[in-house]
Chain A
Amino acid sequence: MDTTNNLKSNCDTYNNYYYSLGCKYPKNSTSLLKELQVFLKNKNNRYSGSGYITFHFRIDCEGKPNQKVKVLQTDANYKTYHFDKILVNDLYLFLKTLNEWKIGLAKNGNTYSYLAFITFKIYNGKITNIAP
């Protein structure tokens, strides 16, 4: 996983989260899940485990995601867990295909970078849901 920080220097790094700027990814979980299933089918890998894999990252002022990500993994009971690297990497590659992030436009007309995350819910190696 290439997690080099590529955030533009002229973009602020306030602690804004996506929800304070109305910036959930503009497709619902069902639509994203369909895209993911096509993506993973092409990978043709087998996965295992149940729980959650969450990628945290920042969206810059132009709506582009920073490559620097933090990965959190838990089992289905929310206890820290480690999935196979192949699954984490495949989900990260899928994450990089998401290129319709909203620009963080505040009511004052300024644009801001913001913190976002995507959680994949996994049941017996199958992705069953995507949040938020």
Chain B
Amino acid sequence: MGKLPILLLSFLFLSLFCNGQIVKQTIKKCDCSSKIVTDSLITKYIDNGSDKHHRHYSEFQLYLDSLIAICPLAIAYREKAIPFIMGGDYAKAFPLEDKAVELEPKTYTAYRAFLKCIFTKDYFGAITDFEKAQQLTPDGYEMDHTYFFYMGLCNLELKNYTAAEENFQRDISIQTRGDKGNTPHFNSLLYAGILYFEMKNIVKAKEFLLQCLKAYSNSPDANYYLALTYNLEGDINTKRQYLRAAYEAVSNGYLLNETNEAFTYYPHQITLFEVEKEINNGK
């Protein structure tokens, strides 16, 4: 099923974009190494094709399969995997991600690492991929953050605190380029603060979480972990103050501010349940 529409779409495209190179049913292949050709294909089959359809409907896959039939572009495999990642079907998602990495390792190794870190919580696998990505594209970014930010998250979750500390320091240093006047991403500050809270380094935990709140005062997570930090030193009044702020923030719809937060909880992310539980613990 689906082969005929793919062929028809492919045929239509070839006649339009490959300059009529169809002679007596013999299809001369597009030059898939040409950027002009691949850009045109992406515009037609992704921007004006799959992207116009619901990701969980068959038309979405059909456009991408048609594109692959013409030129097996890495981006098409990456796009095909998205609904499977969103739907938790990893056996279908990761062979497609692997294919994208095989075709364009420089572009997609870090993306696969990101998926392992945030979506499937495969922290060892994510670190391995981010290390490869660092070799391929040193000090690169994926989904708004440096590779070291995500490696820091992985090591934080694996309780490799020394490694996580090195990762977050490197993350911040890449962002600020050594200039203290440059402010890092507020979630870099948040996670550095959470790491120091876990390490029971109260001074540094406060320093980073307060810096995070300076940039994002309604961060439920920064307020929550700052409350727990004050709790560590027995300052119950300040703990309550920040827990109340966390409660207000979550109740008013503020969340960990990350593009993919709707799909999955980020490491250490809290919800109203955890805040209320902590408030009730203190009573």
A interface with B by C-beta (< 8 Å): 15, 17, 19-20, 22, 24, 26-31, 52, 54, 56, 72, 74, 76-80, 115, 117, 119, 121, 128-129, 131-132
Assess whether B88 is in contact with A119, with CB atoms less than 8 Å apart. Answer: yes
Q: Is B86 an interface residue (CB 8 A)?
A: yes
The interface residues of chain B lying within 8 Å CB-to-CB of A52 are 90, 120
In the bound complex, CA of A76 to CA of B271 (Å):
28
Assess whether B91 is in contact with A72, with CB atoms less than 8 Å apart. Answer: yes
The interface residues of chain B lying within 8 Å CB-to-CB of A24 are 262, 264-265
Q: Which 4 A-B pairs have the closest CB atoms?
A: A132-B264, A78-B94, A117-B88, A129-B121
Q: Is B272 an interface residue (CB 8 A)?
A: yes
**Residue of A26, A80, A132 most packed against chain B (CB within 10 A):** A132
The interface residues of chain B lying within 8 Å CB-to-CB of A17 are 56, 86-87
B interface with A by C-beta (< 8 Å): 54, 56-57, 86-91, 93-95, 119-122, 125, 262-265, 268-274, 277
Assess whether B121 is in contact with A74, with CB atoms less than 8 Å apart. Answer: no
The interface residues of chain B lying within 8 Å CB-to-CB of A28 are 265, 269-271, 273-274
Assess whether B122 is in contact with A79, with CB atoms less than 8 Å apart. Answer: no
Assess whether B88 is in contact with A132, with CB atoms less than 8 Å apart. Answer: yes
Assess whether B120 is in contact with A121, with CB atoms less than 8 Å apart. Answer: yes
The interface residues of chain B lying within 8 Å CB-to-CB of A22 are 262
B95 — nearest CB in chain A belongs to which residue? A78
The interface residues of chain B lying within 8 Å CB-to-CB of A29 are 121, 265
B100 CB to closest chain A CB (Å) equals: 14
Assess whether A54 is in contact with B264, with CB atoms less than 8 Å apart. Answer: no
The interface residues of chain B lying within 8 Å CB-to-CB of A31 are 271, 273-274, 277
In the bound complex, CA of A52 to CA of B94 (Å):
13
Assess whether A74 is in contact with B91, with CB atoms less than 8 Å apart. Answer: yes
The interface residues of chain B lying within 8 Å CB-to-CB of A121 are 120-122
Assess whether B264 is in contact with A74, with CB atoms less than 8 Å apart. Answer: no
Assess whether A72 is in contact with B57, with CB atoms less than 8 Å apart. Answer: no
In the bound complex, CA of A77 to CA of B93 (Å):
11
The interface residues of chain B lying within 8 Å CB-to-CB of A78 are 90-91, 93-95, 120
The interface residues of chain B lying within 8 Å CB-to-CB of A27 are 271, 273-274
Q: List 9 A-B contacts (CB under 8 A).
A: A19-B86, A28-B269, A31-B277, A74-B90, A78-B94, A79-B91, A117-B88, A121-B121, A132-B119
The interface residues of chain B lying within 8 Å CB-to-CB of A115 are 87
Assess whether A15 is in contact with B54, with CB atoms less than 8 Å apart. Answer: yes
In the bound complex, CA of A30 to CA of B121 (Å):
12
* A78-B120, A131-B264 known, 18 other contacts, Cβ within 8 Å: A15-B57, A19-B262, A19-B263, A20-B262, A22-B262, A28-B274, A31-B271, A31-B277, A52-B90, A54-B88, A74-B90, A78-B95, A115-B87, A117-B87, A119-B90, A121-B120, A131-B120, A132-B264
A27 — nearest CB in chain B belongs to which residue? B273
B116 — nearest CB in chain A belongs to which residue? A78
The interface residues of chain B lying within 8 Å CB-to-CB of A132 are 88, 119, 263-265
